[in-house]
């Protein structure tokens, strides 16, 4: 199986589980049937916004959804029927250490839904707890080998949270850590995963502030003949201007080919809907509009970079 993915990927991400339960509904597990149904309904609003975007002209081959089985099983099936690129998580929600949502049965769940991508969210700092890092890596290698054996694509969402010592070295300033240290750590994590036989087709990378850091990340992701491997920009729940800045930076780099944005697109609209300040139709419209804004910003920056390199600008 050849590593990589040969299309752009503009993912509307709403595989969040704990943040829907607590953040939007103020609930903690075990949740009531009413809250469960409310989350399902909220995710259907997001998917309707996705379909509206495609109907209004967004490219269906690139515009995918990232949705979970727990609250989005019906959406995942609809996405397959509609020909929408589908990514589904295999990790347990809200854990500092990667764990399979369904333990050793992960394969059966992937086969049941047949997503375009099996996705993991991993918190990994190479200067963090070495024992935890080893345990996570072993689990991820098991998944990666199974996916390759069964000719399935692998989407790896990488978060590199600062250790206390790292943050202290920047006097507690998260943005300084993000700009000055995190990019190097991202490259180190990718290298460590590759050495451990963890081989994603797409790396989902937290927004980077400098183009040269994006170039270094792609170089590591594609090292050793992994020429088809791509990176996409992760929105991190930041506000829309910040997300657009990050995706515009990524769009200028060959090897970055899309984004995955979630709360930035839908959180405010859903909060207003749940508070009775907006109708379902208005929520769908607002989410779709934000999604199109991000797509247009990415494609515009990509086009500008291409024409500039080609000497047309």
Domain residue spans of the chain? 9-309
Would you list the DSSP string of 224-260?
A: GG-TT-EEEEE-TT--HHHHHHHHHHHHTSBTEEEEE
What residues are paired with 205 via a beta bridge?
A: 158, 233
Contact call for residues 199 and 144 (beta carbons, < 8 A): yes
Torsion angle of the four alpha carbons 246, 251, 254, 258, in this order, in degrees rounded to the nearest 10: 90
Task: Count Cβ atoms within 10 A of the Cβ of residue 140 and give its class: 0-12 exposed, 13-18 middle, 19 or more buried.
Answer: buried
Q: Is 75 helix (H, G, I), strand (E, B) or coil?
A: helix
Within 10 Å of residue 158's Cβ, how many Cβ atoms? 22
- CATH code at 9-309: 3.20.20.70
The pLDDT tens digits for 172-218 are 999 999 999 999 999 999 999 999 999 999 999 999 999 999 999 99
Within 10 Å of residue 96's Cβ, how many Cβ atoms? 11
The pLDDT tens digits for 110-137 are 999 999 999 999 999 999 999 999 999 9
What is the spatial distance between Cα 222 and Cα 230, in angstroms, rounded to a whole number? 8
pTM here?
0.96
What average pLDDT does the chain have?
A: 96
What residues are paired with 254 via a beta bridge?
A: 256
Q: What is the mean pLDDT of residues 44-51?
A: 98
Contact call for residues 287 and 51 (beta carbons, < 8 A): no
What is the spatial distance between Cα 192 and Cα 212, in angstroms, rounded to a whole number? 21
The pLDDT tens digits for 247-279 are 999 999 999 999 999 999 999 999 999 999 999
> In this model, does residue 293 exceed pLDDT 60?
yes
Residues 6+ apart with CB under 8 A from 130: none
What is the spatial distance between Cα 54 and Cα 20, in angstroms, rounded to a whole number? 25
Instruction: Let me know how long the chain is.
Output: 313
């Amino acid at each position: 199986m050849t590593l990589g993915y040969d299309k752009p990927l503009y993912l509307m991400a709403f595989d969040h589980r704990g943040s829907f339960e607590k953040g939007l509904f103020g609930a903690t597990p075990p949740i009531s049937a009413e809250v469960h149904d409310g989350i399902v309904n909220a995710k259907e609003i997001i998917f309707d916004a996705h379909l509206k975007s495609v109907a209004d002209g967004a490219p269906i081959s690139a515009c995918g959804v990232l949705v979970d089985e727990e609250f989005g099983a019906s959406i995942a099936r609809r996405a397959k029927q509609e020909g929408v690129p589908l990514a589904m998580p295999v990790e347990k929600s809200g854990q500092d250490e990667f764990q399979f949502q369904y333990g050793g049965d992960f394969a059966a769940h992937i086969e049941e839904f047949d997503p375009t991508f099996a996705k993991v969210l991993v918190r990994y700092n190479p200067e963090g707890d070495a024992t935890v890092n080893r345990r996570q890596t072993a689990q991820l290698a098991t998944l990666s080998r199974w996916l390759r054996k069964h000719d399935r694509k692998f989407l790896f969402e990488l978060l590199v949270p600062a250790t206390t010592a790292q943050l202290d070295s920047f006097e507690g300033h998260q943005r300084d850590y993000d700009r000055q240290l995190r990019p190097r750590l991202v490259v180190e994590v990718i290298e460590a995963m590759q050495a451990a036989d963890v081989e994603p087709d797409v790396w989902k990378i937290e927004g980077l502030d400098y183009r040269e850091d994006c170039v270094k990340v792609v170089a590591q992701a594609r090292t050793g003949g992994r020429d088809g491997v791509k990176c996409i920009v992760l929105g991190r729940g930041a506000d829309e201007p910040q997300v657009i800045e990050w995706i515009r930076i990524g769009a200028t780099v060959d090897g970055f080919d899309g984004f995955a944005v979630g709360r930035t697109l839908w959180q405010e609209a859903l909060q207003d809907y749940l508070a009775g300040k907006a109708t379902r139709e208005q929520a769908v419209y607002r989410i779709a509009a934000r999604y199109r804004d991000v797509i247009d910003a990415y494609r515009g920056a990509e086009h500008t970079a291409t024409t500039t390199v080609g000497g047309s600008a």
